[in-house]
Amino acid sequence: MNHNAIAAMITVMLKELRDLFRDKRTIRIALLMAFFNPLLMLGLISMTEKRVSSQLEKPLELPVVGAQYAPNLVAWLSGQNVDVLPAPVDADATIRNQDRDVILSIGKDYPKDWHDGMPAKVEIVHDSSRQDAQIPVERVENLLQAYSQTMGSLRLVARGVSPAVVSPLRVAHRDLATPESKRGLALSFLPYLLILSGFLGGANLVIDATAGERERQSLEPLLATPSTRSAIMSGKIAAACLFGMLILVLTLVLYKLAFTYGPSTGLKFDVSLLTMSKLLLVLAPVVLLGTTLLTLIAASAKSVKEAQGYMNILVMLPLIPTLILLVNPIKTQIWQFAVPFLSQNQLIMKLLRMEVVTPAEWSIYLLSGFGLGLLLWAVAAQLYHRERLAISA
Amino acid sequence: MIEARNLHKAFASKTGKVVAVDDVSFVANNGEITGLLGPNGAGKTTTLRMLYTLMRPEPGSVSVDGFDSVRDAEAVRRRLGVLPDARGVYKRLTARENIAYFGRLHQMPESEIAARIALLSKALDMDDFLDRQTEGFSQGQRTKTAIARALVHDPMNVILDEPTNGLDVMTTRGLRDFLRQLRAEGRCVIFSSHIMQEVAALCDRIVVIAKGRVVAQGSADELRAQTGEGDLENAFVKAIGSDEGLHP
């Protein structure tokens, strides 16, 4: 590119940015998105946290059917942070209507079986498809297990047998998840939000600068200036990339503020300046990709409306790896760093989990990411040279 | 000076090939106003688009001050001031910013841009609205902005596609004076119109186009002589073969 082309590119870029910053509506929407992003995450995380901790710690409300058959068990449960409630008229209906998370049902054979030293039947009534009932059900199960084990041990001791005899295995968990990787789990769709705002943050500007310019009949005079079409297009792409990066920086700064000064979520999120800069580097190729792809679409679409129609599909693109990883989690492998959207997903997760990204992974990622962006740029430039481009209607 | 030699252009459409321009040749000299006259859809806009390098002649050639429009497209555009059929201005920029943007794309220094804007604003009577954002401009104000933008780099050759379209009588009169001034400065001016009176009032040479072909060209007197009609309007009707589109 010669000196003239670069000068033209910069002129176009500055004009597009000036034009954009006078467009109050577009700026307002962009700012709203930047604010919405961390707020949504913060809200989601604190909601999850609150539910988990309240369900774990607050007294478990447990209606018991047939409490009179097992007074000892019920008394023991009451001593374990359980509020034993009177039985509902129809236990099954109560669960089905989601009036209660879990109900304990004690059969009328319980006293007889207990005395005979036979396993006495107790039933946990619940709906396994209800996610929010999972924790209460688990708590009841664990309590009954503990009671059963204690009573079993006491019976063995009464017969002069060591309880260890019936415990050939002692299973214990050693959870190697770092606190950081647990955070990563909770933040599993933070990558999508970040990728999306990088991918489509400058979308309005891009569509307006090509399809909008043609629709408003100002592209033809612009192409009658000595500037080459590639230089004009590059200026528009550069303006959109710059704006996209600006939105990203703002979003990340807001994330930092939200997680530093926002309500404590119990989850700490790595908001160090270094991680933030790395995130920005990960997202830079996404900005280029989105901008060039949209330029390509805007240059071939007949109108702004048609170009905007493609947005519905583009919004879905970064979601694909998130969804695939959700149903089919795969181990991170080197080839993944060359796949758009999947690579960003993996890298952002790695950074949030404070895992090391190797130089090889960085180079594969940046080369393929920017490479694809430049390829799309070249294709878009080809489209810009078509005669049809300038002519509206 | 602009020379068009055997210009052809056809477009593919759903119903097949549509020939828009079919062997158009003419010469537009410096210090003259050349008028392209023809009914709507005659191929005037397509012809002009080939002159300012937006489209390639297929086949045919255009030269502007000796530069070929395909081989030296950039040099040609440097020598041309163009008011295309599409004359949208950026509505969030002021008229001055719109004009200056094009000055920068012509790589003019800022001081020269400012001087040219002052000059053009005076000539086109734009001082009242020069520093207003163009949103809400009248058709005349928009056209003036577009003309000033096209001429900011002081081009020797000026191409205007139906410049008086949608303008009121006073603005049209002002514009005619402005075009005469460009001619007096020795520039080569080409403009297209479908209005006979306008072409007759301004042009030194007239190129009459119908159905993509040149059906007559010359001065008003030469046209009268060619067609054997004493009245210019009858001469045009005879040349075109109908009186379609010849009235305002």
Per residue in A325-376, pLDDT tens?
777 777 777 788 888 888 888 888 888 777 888 888 888 889 998 999 999 9
Q: Please answer yes or no on whether B54 and A7 come within 8 Å at the CB atom.
A: no
Distance CA(A348)–CA(A116), nearest Å, equals 60
Minimum mean pLDDT range among A169-173, A257-261, A376-380, B140-144: A169-173
Give the model's pLDDT for residue A182.
52
Query: Whose structure tokens read 């309590």?
Result: A143
Distance CA(A217)–CA(A219), nearest Å, equals 6
For chain A, first and last CA: distance in Å? Answer: 32
Check whether B171 has a pLDDT greater than 90: no
Count of residues for chain A?
393
Structural domain including A299 reads: 3-49+180-390
**A189 and A280, same structural domain?**
yes
Give the model's pLDDT for residue A81.
83
Q: What is the mean pLDDT of residues A22-47?
A: 82
Q: Please answer yes or no on whether A12 and B93 come within 8 Å at the CB atom.
A: no
Distance CA(A353)–CA(A268), nearest Å, equals 11
pLDDT tens figures, A118-156: 888 888 888 888 777 787 888 888 888 888 888 888 888
**A165 and A187, same structural domain?**
no
Helices (H), B28-138: 44-51, 73-78, 95-105, 110-123
**A195 and A106, same structural domain?**
no
Check whether B97 has a pLDDT greater than 90: yes
Report DSSP letters for A366-388, one per residue. HHHHHHHHHHHHHHHHHHHTSGG
Contacts of residue B97 in chain A, CB cutoff 8 Å?
Answer: 18
Q: Please say whether the beta carbons of A15 and A205 come within 8 A.
A: no
Contacts of residue A12 in chain B, CB cutoff 8 Å?
Answer: 105
**A144 and A207, same structural domain?**
no
Specify if A326 maps to a domain. Answer: yes
Q: In sequence order, which residues have a C-beta less than 8 Å from that of residue A152 and are 6 or more positions away?
A: A163, A166
Check whether A213 has a pLDDT greater than 50: yes
Specify if A246 maps to a domain. Answer: yes
Query: Whose structure tokens read 């920086």?
Result: A249
Structural domain including B100 reads: 87-154
**A221 and A330, same structural domain?**
yes
Asked if B104 has any chain A CB less than 8 Å from its own CB, the reply is yes
Closest chain B residue to the Cα of A216, Cα to Cα: B88
**A293 and A253, same structural domain?**
yes
Which SS3 state, helix, strand or coil, does residue B225 take? helix
- Domain boundary residue, one of A139, A172, A205: A172
Specify if A194 maps to a domain. Answer: yes
Distances (CA, A) of A2 to A7, A117, A233: 9, 94, 15
Query: Whose structure tokens read 């000068």?
Result: A7
**A145 and A240, same structural domain?**
no
Give the model's pLDDT for residue B248.
46
**A153 and A67, same structural domain?**
yes
Distance CA(A337)–CA(A360), nearest Å, equals 10
Q: How confident is the model at residue A179 (pLDDT cuts 50, 70, 90)?
A: low
**A158 and A85, same structural domain?**
yes
**A369 and A249, same structural domain?**
yes
Closest chain A residue to the Cα of B56, Cα to Cα: A387
**A10 and A111, same structural domain?**
no
Check whether A270 has a pLDDT greater than 70: no
**A210 and A110, same structural domain?**
no
What's chain B's Rg over C-alpha atoms?
18
CB atoms within 10 A of CB B203: 23
Specify if A98 maps to a domain. Answer: yes
Ranked by mean pLDDT, which of A110-119, B32-41, B102-111 comes out on top? B102-111
Closest by CA position to A65, among listed A41, A42, A97, A95: A95
Q: Please answer yes or no on whether A225 and B87 come within 8 Å at the CB atom.
A: no
Distance CA(A17)–CA(A154), nearest Å, equals 79
Specify if A274 maps to a domain. Answer: yes
Domain harbouring A117, CATH code? 3.40.1710.10
Specify if B38 maps to a domain. Answer: no
Specify if B30 maps to a domain. Answer: no
Count of residues for chain B?
248
Specify if A72 maps to a domain. Answer: yes
Asked if A393 has any chain B CB less than 8 Å from its own CB, the reply is no
Specify if B121 maps to a domain. Answer: yes
Average pLDDT, chain B: 87
Distance CA(B105)–CA(B96), nearest Å, equals 14
Minimum mean pLDDT range among A2-16, A20-34, A114-128, A317-331: A317-331
- Domain boundary residue, one of A138, A172, A206: A172
How many domains are there within chain B? 1
Closest chain B residue to the Cα of A231, Cα to Cα: B105
Name the helix (H) or strand (E) containing A14. helix A3-21
How many domains are there within chain A? 2
Closest partner residue to B105 (CB to CB) among A219, A225, A390 is A225
Specify if A54 maps to a domain. Answer: no
Over the range A104-123, which residues count as b (16 or more CB within 10 Å of their CB) and which as e?
Answer: bbbbeebeeebeeeeebebe
Check whether B159 has a pLDDT greater than 90: yes
Specify if B137 maps to a domain. Answer: yes
Minimum mean pLDDT range among A201-205, A226-230, A310-314: A201-205
Specify if A30 maps to a domain. Answer: yes
Where does residue B91 rank: exposed (0-12), middle (13-18), buried (19+ CB within 10 A)?
middle
